Amino acid sequence: MARTRGAKKDILAAADPSLPPSRVIPRPGEGETIDWASWFDLARPVEADIGCGMGRFLLARAAANPDVQYLGLELESARVVHVDVAARRAGLDNLRLLQGDAMLSLPLLPDGFLRAATVFFPDPWPKRRHWKRRLVQAPFIDAVHRVLAPGGLLHLATDQATYFESMLALLGADARFARAETLVRPPEQWTDFERLFRAKGETIGEASFRRL
């Protein structure tokens, strides 16, 4: 119920005319494309947070790096509204959002558009029979590979040991990527889920890969 109340408050706040314009990029219609130059300065780097959730990492990261532009991809529209309202209240001009399934959103990005992509604590699907629903699988890696610029980084984190093993196996066997230094983030850039896992002392798998 608290979540529903929060979502209603966010929807009301999103319509507040005293806030700066929405950072949500409308999804294009069938056969249409996004005019990326109207949303980003294409001369500056863009980084995407895939499955940004309530945006704690994305908002903190955007505030800490005003010269970098950030794109949050998120399936749940209530979460997108929440992050949008927070970004507008914080006056963050370097953050944009696109709602929808990342597997449908990534194909809308131009080749080599991103300097980095983060996938932090994707839905875990812990039961073996549900592993096929996990986001980080071969088609996702292909999609990320296309949108990363050469030298671009893919940062991954999960609390699920079997998911982490499969990420390492998938990317370790992919000649298009090389292992890179793991991204070190200050605690204010920990995600919402990460805070819960760290508070419980759970093991977190983190790894980064460079697109060759």
Ligand X SMILES: C[S@@+](CC[C@H](N)C(=O)[O-])C[C@H]1O[C@@H](n2cnc3c(N)ncnc32)[C@H](O)[C@@H]1O
Asked if residue 194 binds ligand X (CB under 6 A), the reply is yes
Among 61, 108, 117, CA closest to 87: 61
Going by their DSSP bridges, the two strands 69-74 and 46-50 should be labelled as parallel
Asked if residue 209 binds ligand X (CB under 6 A), the reply is no
Is 123 designated active site? yes
CB within 8 Å of 107: residues ≥ 6 apart? 143
Q: Is 114 left (phi over 0), alpha (psi -120 to 50) or beta?
A: beta
Catalytic residue among 16, 35, 123, 192: 123
Nearer to ligand X, 52 or 171 (CB): 52
Q: Exactly one of 79, 134, 155, 185 binds ligand X (CB under 6 A); which one?
A: 79
Cα–Cα distance between 21 and 202 in angstroms, integer?
A: 39
Stretch that binds ligand X, among 30-38, 101-109, 141-149, 165-173 (CB under 6 A): 101-109
Q: Exactly one of 16, 41, 192, 202 binds ligand X (CB under 6 A); which one?
A: 192
Q: Exactly one of 122, 144, 153, 160 binds ligand X (CB under 6 A); which one?
A: 122
Q: Exactly one of 53, 108, 189, 211 binds ligand X (CB under 6 A); which one?
A: 53
Cα–Cα distance between 87 and 188 in angstroms, integer?
A: 16
Report whether 208 contacts 179 (CB < 8 A). yes
Which sequence positions are flagged as catalytic?
Answer: 123
- Residue ranges binding ligand X (CB under 6 A): 51-53, 73-76, 79, 101-103, 120-123, 135, 191-194
